[in-house]
Amino acid sequence: MATETPPPSKSPTRLPSTEEFTEVQESAEFAELRRSYRSFAFPLTVAFIAWYLLYVLLSNYAGDFMGTKVFGNVNVALLLGLAQFLTTFLIAWWYARHAAAKLDPKAEAIKSRMEGGA
């Protein structure tokens, strides 16, 4: 069975010092990594919480609307509830793509430089 990641190295990795961690934390490269993460995660988190609260508020205060039949025994509340699951999975998929494309390469570069002592 083939894997995408190579097996762990037999040689021990060098542990960075506290000063090296502080230096990396204050670097522009690390700031860019944090900015890239935050510019993606924070707006999506706020949007999803707003979407969830809208669903809860509609369920509590717009019972007639939520009870509107769409077809058969399926009503608006059921469709919006299922849409909550759909958006959860879509956000997770989108974040995984974003992390693989933008965050992981930057984080790996920082990690390898710190462990390699370069």
Rounded to two decimals, what is the model's pTM? 0.74
Summarised one tens digit per residue, pLDDT across range 63-85 is 899 899 999 999 999 999 999 99
Summarised one tens digit per residue, pLDDT across range 10-58 is 666 677 778 888 888 888 999 999 999 999 999 999 999 999 999 999 9
- CA pair distance 118, 112, nearest whole angstrom: 8
- CA pair distance 69, 75, nearest whole angstrom: 4
N- to C-terminal Cα separation, the chain: 34
